[in-house]
Structure 1
Amino acid sequence: MCGIFGYSGEKECNDLIFEGLKRLEYRGYDSWGIAILNGKIHQYKNIGEIKYDKMLQKLQKGNIGIGHTRWATHGGVTKINAHPHISEVGGFTLVQNGIVENFNELKSSLLKKDVHFVSETDTEVIVRLIELELLKNKSLRQAIITVFKKLKGRNTIALLSNNDKKIYAVRNGSPLVLGIATDGIYIASDTLSFSPATNEAVLLDDFDMVEIGGKNISIFNIESNQFKPVKIKKLKHQFNKIDKGNFKHFMLKEIVDQKETILFATKYLRKELLPLTDSIKKGGRVYVIGAGTAGFSAGQIAYFLRNIANIDAQEVKSYEFEQYISIVKKKDILIAISQSGETADTIEAIEAFKKKGCKIASLVNMYGTTISRLSDFEFYTNSGPEICVASTKVFTAQCAWGYLLTMTLDNRFEEGKKNLSILTKSISQIFLKSRLENIKRVANKLKNKEHAFILGKGENSYIALEGALKIKEISYKHVEGFAAGELKHGVIALIEKGTPVLSIIPSENSRDFNDMISAVEQVKARGALTVGIGNDKSSKREIFDFYINVSQVENVSSIANVIPFQLISYYLSVALGNNIDKPRNLAKSVTVK
């Protein structure tokens, strides 16, 4: 969600901060701002897309500053509500990532003291509280510590001070990392934003307060009241350039990337998976958690574990973990799935499972994240930056990793590797010109429809849910995914002439094939527009108005079956003129509850 970026050092930093914010765009935002220190604090704030205009070009240059991308939680999308928020006397300006859960209580107490507010944000409450502490003759550091301890919820702040020419920042829950370069110090919400400049980072812990002056750093933990050594960690990957190449949108590029990224996610050696598989074999139930798209990949992984390796595995939505925590045992294993590695609901679930004494495994796409650092077993999808807000390549990478883990548990590691290699060849065929044209025709049929349904069964149940989510996210159409068995228990009441029903068809030797065909025949009898996706050798094509071929690979075809839905979502949204890579109201990294 919100993103923080700052710099202190030798270089003129206006462009550095601007480019840093551009690299944080994928997290989601609706407004943004930059503050530069040079004699006094100079600020620029705007709503909408991060781009240069004449006013930004006129902003005073300097070699220390902070920037912010805001995703509105308190107050509307306005320039006044955008960060940074400056103190009334101009001594400092502040940005925040998170939600002050006791905002109303704190603001009410300030209003009783006749404190004046300019914006509607919870962030301004932090600014006004610090101002009051400074009036008590406290140092800025003491004032920040006192106020930060009053805040409830997961919050991270960064403050630019005119008085001592420093950046102060405190982290709790929401991510914050430092980048150490020869020319200066970077501070940001993730390592991706400063990776072109350096691959050396300092990963901050909760309640760490960092003080940056010039190229000097000190870290003080406000809980333990102790200074900490600055531990620099080399990042495993550095991304010098992020662009769309010859593609019009990042989404399409990332869909096509899946021919390679599935193999990147499963490049692990058997010995690298064995510590986790041994713990699973010796442990109790396996809980696989995630939210949104990661929640559906968690469900797919749990399906693989149950149906291939006979493991007692349960998929749980991260935000619903409290329903299960009372029955969790110390021997149970938690596998946490997250693209960003910073999903707030998932972090909270991990913390609860850790209190129960459970071992934690994680699969994330970003390095140096909170979730990976909380884990006993950390794994990475290695998909490279995923810039489009709607996840595509990371979803299939997560599922592929889960499949390889399952095959390792079933003592069929090499067979799993072979099947994944065959799968990537199957995926390559989806991008043949004739198949893409067919997918475009289906997308065009959906353009003037307000509702559509996706049916799946067994290994394709979660694919139906993810397919529906993908179309909803980008096209803003109402699309629902269902297990095919639900059809006659209520869903069929919604089917009328012309209603699009997209059905995922497995191989004919699958136990689910006949049930899926029966479901299609039922909706066709009621006038539905029927689209089949899957089995390229199906003998039942005549019951479909459209059919999209996907070559089937035993036990793992479901991963390929999701790609036509991604493409339908893309082509439909292009036809509708939507913002493909940054759909409305959505954020890539959901760091607040």
Structure 2
Amino acid sequence: MCGIVGYTGKGNSSKVVLDGLKNLEYRGYDSWGIAVNDGGKLDVFKKVGEINIKKDNLPLPKTSSAIGHTRWATHGGVNHINAHPHFSTRRDFVLAQNGIVENYQDLKGKLIMKGYTFDTETDTEVIVRLIEEKRKSNETLKDSIRAAFNELDGRNTVIILDSRQDDHIIAVRNGSPLVLGVGKDGIFLASDALAFAKHTKDVVFLDNYDLVEIEGNKFEIYDAKTGIKKEYKVTTLNNKIKGISKGKYSHFMIKEIVEQKDTVLKAAEYTENDLKPIIEAVEDANRVYITGAGTAGFASGQIAYYLRNIAKVDALDVRSYDFETFLPILKKDDLVIAVSQSGETADTIEILEFAKEKGCEIGCIVNVEGSTIHRMSDYKYLIHAGPEICVASTKVFTSQCIFGYLLAKSMVKEYKEAKSYIQDLSDGLGDYFNEKTFKHIKKLAKKIKENEHFFILGKGQNSYISLEGALKVKEISYKHFEGFSAGELKHGVIALVEDDTPVFSIISDDDHFNDIISATEEVKARGAFTVGIGDSKFRDESCFKYFLSTATNKELSGLANVVAFQLLSYFLADSLGNNIDKPRNLAKSVTVK
């Protein structure tokens, strides 16, 4: 959620850090700030809202060390005072945090009793004052930070810029991600390597309770609990990041939607030999749990559907934030597969930690190499979708589902057939993305933009598509969309249908076709504005008042159908003038619970 960037080196530090913060905008934020060390004097610039300032206009001196932060408010309102970084009382260091101090009220009360005052409403300022208190009994800033950090509860990663020593930065990781970059012209710290990707691909992935101390162009890593120096490994990232640009598109979202014609193929580049380890793990498992949250949670449901219905595997999808209710029945011979875009989802990481304690093996389907979930997994699979900048996930969802489909088909010796269907989907999407399609969906968006409540019917392979479709539209349009199985219609939902209520019916050429048509007729009889989504051969004007054709693909029609909802979400939000790539109140990477 929050983003952290730090730099010491030969470049203009504030500009380097500002670039890094811009590359972390996808994580979501409501305010931001940068601090520099100008010859022993700390200068801070903070602002509420978007990072819309040009590098050359930053009112900060040219220096060789700086830290920066994008804030997603959890404690205290969105204002200039609560924005990070925060000064110490003597203004000899500044600190920024990504995370939550769960025991901040207790710590704050004790510090107030000792005479400390607080200027902000944040839990982060408690860390600052606690470090100040620890400096009374510790010789170095590093030891003071260690002592303070060991009294904090929760998941919190911090970065500190020191004024007493040139180019001196200390950071500690606990829970929230932090990666160190080793470049020719400097040392970097960031919540995501994307922040400094154009400078270096040589990184050190920091583990929980790692404390890194940077002094000039050198660094050391210590155990924050014991203070003992640790060995570290420099990894060269394989991902090729060409730069973050919308190109010819108005928004990242539409760019990423269109990229799916290519990303579905990249997700399926694994050979049969590549898949053998995870296939054997699935076959040997007592039960397979697929877990994720948000869009990744719906992807986990779709993957579990493929495993059950194609490979006949006992696969159960569980939202990571609800997984604790399954812990009493989790066995050591169960396999837990985590699905995550960022690989840093806090709820999911916590469940994997519990599963590891139980002795379970862990698999992952993620988009970020070296992320926490990627590194803690026994079976690691990247979907290679490339950076996804829009907060609302599109291409990562379909890529994760494609991997699950390929896995399921491979388990029943139908790898080549799966590859053929995936190629067909790619070709179909390539044909589907054209001005005629866009114009037809724009027309529907314009027609329904004044409505507030919408419903989506799905069944079978489209059950989770209805949920993901509803999530996608509500995220960006701020309209109330609800997806559910068509079987639920008679059990209460139909009471909400009235004249002109838009109801979307997702159709595939499968055993559930008649059920969907029957449900559509029921809502139509109650005055609903019925919209069909599926292969054009199912267009029926007597049943549907509007029809959105999708790319044709029998086995993967669910994924073809979800693309129509992605486009509807985009064009509906655009017609309403919403901030499409950065919708209100949402963050891309949910690194706190």
Q: Please, what TM-score do these two structures have when normalized by structure 1? A: 0.98
Change (3 A) 1:133 1:247: same
Change (3 A) 1:94 1:46: same
The Cα of 1:53 is off from its aligned counterpart by 6.4
Residue 540 of structure 2 is matched in structure 1 by 540
Residue 199 of structure 2 is matched in structure 1 by 197
User: Where do 1:463-502 residues align within 5 Å?
Assistant: 463-502=465-504
Instruction: List gaps (5 residues or longer) in structure 1.
Output: none
Residue 556 of structure 2 is matched in structure 1 by 556
Question: Is the 2:391–2:588 Cα contact (8 Å) retained in structure 1?
Answer: yes
The Cα of 1:5 is off from its aligned counterpart by 0.3
Q: 1:348 aligns with which of 340, 347, 350?
A: 350
Question: Is the 2:24–2:195 Cα contact (8 Å) retained in structure 1?
Answer: yes
Residue 7 of structure 1 is matched in structure 2 by 7
Question: Is the 1:342–1:369 Cα contact (8 Å) retained in structure 2?
Answer: yes
Residue 158 of structure 1 is matched in structure 2 by 159
Given residue 588 of structure 2, which amino acid in structure 1 is its aligned partner?
K
Residue 436 of structure 2 is matched in structure 1 by 434
Instruction: List gaps (5 residues or longer) in structure 2.
Output: none
Change (3 A) 1:572 1:62: same
Q: What CA distance in whole angstroms lies between the structure 2 residues aligned with 1:2 and 1:86?
A: 18
Residue 32 of structure 2 is matched in structure 1 by 32
The Cα of 1:410 is off from its aligned counterpart by 1.3
The Cα of 1:582 is off from its aligned counterpart by 0.2
Q: What CA distance in whole angstroms lies between the structure 1 residues aligned with 2:385 and 2:144?
A: 42
Residue 373 of structure 1 is matched in structure 2 by 375
Change (3 A) 1:115 1:3: same
Given residue 35 of structure 1, which amino acid in structure 2 is its aligned partner?
A
Question: Is the 1:45–1:82 Cα contact (8 Å) retained in structure 2?
Answer: yes
Residue 521 of structure 2 is matched in structure 1 by 521
Please state whether the residue corresponding to 2:187 is helix, strand or coil.
strand
Q: What CA distance in whole angstroms lies between the structure 2 residues aligned with 1:137 and 1:540?
A: 77
Please state whether the residue corresponding to 2:77 is helix, strand or coil.
coil
Change (3 A) 1:54 1:194: closer
Change (3 A) 1:333 1:137: closer
Question: Is the 1:156–1:174 Cα contact (8 Å) retained in structure 2?
Answer: yes
The Cα of 1:240 is off from its aligned counterpart by 3.5
The Cα of 1:380 is off from its aligned counterpart by 0.7
User: Where do 1:60-79 residues align within 5 Å?
Assistant: 60-79=61-80
User: Where do 1:165-564 residues align within 5 Å?
Assistant: 165=166, 166-507=168-509, 510-538=510-538, 540-564=540-564
Question: Is the 1:430–1:436 Cα contact (8 Å) retained in structure 2?
Answer: no
Between stretches 382-391 and 51-60, larger displacement belongs to 51-60
Q: What CA distance in whole angstroms lies between the structure 1 residues aligned with 2:56 and 2:122?
A: 24
Question: Is the 1:270–1:413 Cα contact (8 Å) retained in structure 2?
Answer: yes
Alpha-carbon displacement from aligned partner over 1:377-419 (angstroms, at most 9, x marks no partner): 1111101110000000000001111100111111111111111
Please state whether the residue corresponding to 1:322 is helix, strand or coil.
helix
Q: Please, what TM-score do these two structures have when normalized by structure 2? A: 0.98
Question: Is the 2:146–2:227 Cα contact (8 Å) retained in structure 1?
Answer: no
CA RMSD of aligned residues (A): 1.2
Change (3 A) 1:350 1:436: same
The Cα of 1:136 is off from its aligned counterpart by 3.0
Question: Is the 2:45–2:59 Cα contact (8 Å) retained in structure 1?
Answer: no
Please state whether the residue corresponding to 1:240 is helix, strand or coil.
coil
Alpha-carbon displacement from aligned partner over 1:306-351 (angstroms, at most 9, x marks no partner): 0111000000000011111111111111110000000000000111
Change (3 A) 1:55 1:231: closer
Q: What CA distance in whole angstroms lies between the structure 2 residues aligned with 1:91 and 1:585?
A: 34
Q: What CA distance in whole angstroms lies between the structure 2 residues aligned with 1:54 and 1:311?
A: 54
Residue 148 of structure 1 is matched in structure 2 by 149
The Cα of 1:442 is off from its aligned counterpart by 1.4
Please state whether the residue corresponding to 1:479 is helix, strand or coil.
strand
Q: What CA distance in whole angstroms lies between the structure 2 residues aligned with 1:298 and 1:211?
A: 39
The Cα of 1:54 is off from its aligned counterpart by 10
Change (3 A) 1:476 1:302: same
Residue 572 of structure 1 is matched in structure 2 by 572
The Cα of 1:539 is off from its aligned counterpart by 6.0
Given residue 175 of structure 2, which amino acid in structure 1 is its aligned partner?
G
The Cα of 1:229 is off from its aligned counterpart by 2.0
Q: What CA distance in whole angstroms lies between the structure 1 residues aligned with 2:80 and 2:374?
A: 36
Alpha-carbon displacement from aligned partner over 1:481-519 (angstroms, at most 9, x marks no partner): 010000010000000000000110111xx1100000000
The Cα of 1:68 is off from its aligned counterpart by 0.3
Please state whether the residue corresponding to 1:352 is helix, strand or coil.
helix
Question: Is the 1:181–1:198 Cα contact (8 Å) retained in structure 2?
Answer: yes
Question: Is the 2:17–2:68 Cα contact (8 Å) retained in structure 1?
Answer: yes
Alpha-carbon displacement from aligned partner over 1:251-310 (angstroms, at most 9, x marks no partner): 000000000001011111110111110111122111000000000000000000001110
Please state whether the residue corresponding to 1:542 is helix, strand or coil.
coil
The Cα of 1:113 is off from its aligned counterpart by 2.0
Please state whether the residue corresponding to 2:35 is helix, strand or coil.
strand
Query: Residue 590 in 1 paired to residue 582 in 2?
Result: no
Change (3 A) 1:252 1:53: closer
Question: Is the 1:208–1:220 Cα contact (8 Å) retained in structure 2?
Answer: yes
Between stretches 550-559 and 202-211, larger displacement belongs to 550-559
The Cα of 1:434 is off from its aligned counterpart by 2.2
Q: What CA distance in whole angstroms lies between the structure 2 residues aligned with 1:352 and 1:53?
A: 45
The Cα of 1:77 is off from its aligned counterpart by 0.5
Question: Is the 1:37–1:62 Cα contact (8 Å) retained in structure 2?
Answer: yes
Please state whether the residue corresponding to 1:227 is helix, strand or coil.
coil
Q: What CA distance in whole angstroms lies between the structure 2 residues aligned with 1:364 and 1:16?
A: 28
Between stretches 101-110 and 429-438, larger displacement belongs to 429-438
Query: Residue 131 in 1 paired to residue 132 in 2?
Result: yes
Moved over 4 A (4+): 53-56
Please state whether the residue corresponding to 1:319 is helix, strand or coil.
helix
